[in-house]
Structure 1
Amino acid sequence: MDRRIADYLQQFELLDLFPEYVREEMFVATYSSGERLFSQSDEADTLYLLVKGKLKISILSPEGKRLILAFKSQFDIVGDVEYVRECPFINTVEAVTDIVVIGISYDALRKHMADNAAWLQFLLQTITTKFETKTRAMNFNLLYTVDVRAASYLLSMTPTQPMLGSTSLIDMADLIGTSYRHLNRVLQQFEQAGWIVKKRGKITLLDRDALLEQAGQNIYE
């Protein structure tokens, strides 16, 4: 077994949750910033424990627009709902920063943990929290103005450095639930205020405090 698995589980007080023979079936994987772990509707066969870094979770709406549901930092789990429902992945999950995850196959979990009361209680808690988060995220896109959503998105996408790499404003507009024109106007206002700089498709944050004040709170976190 990779020693890092026990170290990470110990760090998040989960070592006792998984017996050693279950930990033997786990593996460590790394993903680079911008890399996708999986896409909505992909076949689901692995549960991932996020132990380092930050993820972006989004979903394709019935209208064909991709909306942000949440950003997740360690510790968190992805693939748990699909494990219980035995369905394809419901959301698209991408790395915002370089990340480390611990993976374990659904087959191994069903074989070793299906009757483990502590594991089932842990799953119940994490899944109910996720549905609460999803409901709140959908409400955000209805209740919060575009400037709040844009400021929160920029803050969430730049947790460790001030620059947001080359990105399509059309994609960004879809993710926060607005039009390209409206988003562009808001970003121009941010730039005029001295909060950001847009250059060659990249956005650099100059004043995080002002953006956080604009958002009131970081609604996606």
Structure 2
Amino acid sequence: MRPGESKPINRSNWLERLPEALREDVLNSCVRLKYKRGRHLFRQGDPANGIYCILTGEAQVVGTTITGLDILVSVLRANDWTGYLACTDKGNYTFSVIASQPCEVLHVPLAAVRRIFMSDADAFRLFVLPEIASTRATYQHFVENLAFTPLQRLARRLIDLTSAPHGEERVSDFISPITQDQLALSIMTSRQWANRLLQHMEQAKLIAISRGRIDILNRDALLTLAVHGESGFTVAEPADSAAEDLPRDPA
């Protein structure tokens, strides 16, 4: 990789935390790839072939259940990395990563990952730190889903989808593209009920909904709702004729 091409990814928290020698080895070992919207970087169940960094565009991390339902797990944006777990345990990728916008991607092949990170304990620890952060977030998400109401879960989901994948740092004020089905499945409720909850959030001026897009207008209030509950919100049973501002997934 040419030296002048390394600049766009130096903002990556993970890459910046690496010692200079490891960081340069990663940069010298990677290749750039381009993906059209809808193309897979990799599919759930594929053998590991390395780690990926989004340089431009966005990609959605999607998990598929044994019954074939696709669950939106997170959104990857510029300087987000993915693929650590499969490279660590020599297993298959646990999720699919799909370009939701045209993407330019940095790929570090598996052979380079193993050479750089798997022969030294300190280097290995640095490699798995993002996966450890993801595991901690998964535990928190699991506990919250047991205790939270659907409205709280939706608020939490909107915060998550506009945050860095391994933390709560805000990286975007909107989510696009997004569908009703993706949101409903991710908070374990019906599409109609998720749409009704979104309408109440919009009426409270927490969000703004347009075709295939949700803008976050009041992130602090949304986070308060997610953490402390829905005092002040009165949510009626969803009507069959409720307006649907977000598109449905194809049947």
Q: Does TM-score exceed 0.5, indicating one fold?
A: yes
Alignment partner of 1:103: what SS? strand
Consecutive unaligned residues in structure 2, runs of 5 or more? 163-170, 229-251
Q: 2:180 aligns with which of 159, 169, 184?
A: 169
Partner of 2:51, secondary structure, is: strand
Matches of 2:50 and 2:112, distance apart in 1: 9
Contact 1:54 1:98 in 2 (8 A): yes
- After the TM superposition, which residues 42-191 of structure 1 pair with which residues of structure 2 at under 5 Å, given as runs? 42-49=46-53, 56-62=60-66, 64-70=68-74, 77-94=81-98, 101-157=105-161, 159-162=171-174, 164-165=175-176, 167-191=178-202
User: Do the aligned partners of 1:57 and 1:71 also contact (CA within 8 Å) in 2?
Assistant: yes
Structure 1: any 5+ residue segments left out of the alignment? Answer: none
Whole-Å Cα distance in 1 between the matches of residues 103 and 11 of structure 2? Answer: 18
The reply on whether 1:41 has 2:53 as its aligned counterpart is no
Aligned-pair identity in percent equals 24
**How far did 1:86 drift?**
1.8
1:174 Cα deviation after fit: 0.9
The 3-state SS of whatever aligns with 2:222 is helix
Q: State the distance in 2 between where 1:96 and 1:207 align.
A: 25
Paired residues of 2:30 and 2:106 also in contact (CA < 8 A): yes
Q: Which amino acid aligns with 2:20?
A: D
TM-score, structure 2 normalization? 0.65
Which range moved further: 112-121 or 180-189?
A: 112-121
Partner Cα distance (2:53, 2:19) in 1: 13
173-182 vs 117-126, which moves further: 117-126
CA distance change for structure 1 residues 197 and 51 in 2, over 3 Å: closer, same or farther? closer
Counterpart position of 2:221: 210
> CA 1:117/1:37 → structure 2, altered by over 3 Å: closer, same or farther?
same
Offset at residue 83 of structure 1 (A): 0.9
What is the count of residue pairs matched by the alignment?
A: 216
Secondary structure of the structure 2 residue equivalent to 1:89? coil
1:2–1:27 contact (8 Å) kept in structure 2: no
| TM-score under structure 1 length normalisation | 0.72
Cα 1:31–1:71 shift into 2, 3 Å: same
Aligned Cα RMSD in Å?
A: 3.7
**Partner SS for 1:185:** helix
Structure 1 CA distance, aligned partners of 2:120 and 2:111? 15
Secondary structure of residue in 2 paired with 1:41: coil
Confirm or deny: 8 A CA contact 1:37 1:94 kept in the other structure. yes
Counterpart secondary structure, 2:118: coil
